[in-house]
Amino acid sequence: MRVEKFFFCLILIFLMAGYSYAQDISYTYQELFRIGDSEEFDENYSFTSPYFITISEEGWIYVSDRRMNEIRIYDAEGTFINKIAERGRGPGEFTEISTMYIDPSQNHLIVVDRMNLRATRFDRNGKYLETHLLPEGPVISPWLGRADVDGNHYLLYRIPVMPNQPRPEEDHLVHIYDSEFSKITGSLVDASLYGNLDNYIIDSSIGSPNTGLFELTKQNRLVGAPHLYNGFIYLFEKNQNEWGNTISMQGKQPTGELILEVDANESPDFAVRMGTHRGLITYLKLSTSIGLHTVDDTILAHYVHFQNEDHTSGEIGVSLFDLSTGSHLGYTKIEELSRDHNEPTQTGWNIQVKYAQGNKIYFVDNRYEEPHVVVAEIEFDWE
């Protein structure tokens, strides 16, 4: 009887202290269609390395192919519309697609090219409109881009990984540009949140192979998730005209190491290889952020991939957060994305959730011989 009273009192203490606990989450998943799954070869529906995906206000799908250095445009049902494939340094051309996104203020496609140090604006059909030269500021590759309804542009940058490369004057990862890219109007996301700047070649992956993820939400907020996921993502809030509050949001915790360095001479095919000042190093990524999805105005979904050391099994799951409080609502494994496939026999570590709109998610599936772009509906329910 005394034991029961003890536990009852302990529960009351937790509740009175504002203690919150993760809830049970259920979900429904339905794949709508795939692009790149045709039995007959068609260059307009086949990819070599699909990388960025963005969606216009009417649901058109824009897919960049990293190896082909081109952009395909599809309608909301996956029917091919047009291709942007002009390589070069002239108007409407690009040398490297560093990132691309939709400017919702005008429903235009923005393509950022780090090699040409500029952003190029296209209309929804892929017609060239205007070139914006990037002003002085970060010169290392932009990784992701977003724009708000007022036409301000947010670019997530890498920090240089080689010792002979200069760092930006300020170690911020996100820089905000005005509507014409004429100046940088603000900076946020301290790079130290994403890892150890003194040993970031492996510890944080701030510079390579990518920096992490971020997503704009309503009510002047931004969410950032480090690429190598250590159990925390971050909510940044804007008060009047200044970005201030940074809220750490704790989700599902990794069960072990985030990365594991392996012998560069005997590294497996799925290891990441990097040339550094101490020579070639290779490592395995065991816990990574692969997607951010604003389910509605207040609920955020954070997709994570947890992988064992030999990559024989992996789990893709989602943590839900209440953005109004920063609290973790719970976690669920997504069976449809984690399961093994016969062609080839990989688990789920080649899934990358690239975009979300409402209940639709758009992701790249590299588990097959040829990569696919997948559109699916996913709905969550929690108690």
pLDDT for 164-221, tens place per residue?
555 556 678 899 999 999 999 988 988 888 876 666 555 544 555 578 899 998 777 8
Q: How far is it, in rounded angstroms, from Cα 366 to Cα 202? A: 24
Residue indicated by tokens 């049902």 = 77
pLDDT for 220-246, tens place per residue?
789 999 988 999 999 998 887 788 778
Q: Which tokens go with 295?
A: 């389910």
Rounded to a whole number, what is the distance in angstroms from the first to the last CA of the chain? Answer: 30
* Contact between residue 123 and residue 130 where contact means Cβ atoms under 8 Å apart: no
Residue indicated by tokens 């190896």 = 67
Phi, psi of 214 (to 5 degrees): -155, 160
pLDDT for 278-314, tens place per residue?
677 788 888 999 999 888 888 999 999 998 887 777 8
Alpha helices in the chain (DSSP H): 2-16, 200-203, 335-338
Rounded to two decimals, the pTM is: 0.88
- Residue 262: pLDDT band (50, 70, 90) is confident
* Neighbouring-strand partners of residue 74: 61, 80
* Neighbouring-strand partners of residue 233: 249
**Closest of 226, 228, 246, 227 to residue 236, by C-alpha:** 246
**Closest of 166, 160, 230 to residue 201, by C-alpha:** 160
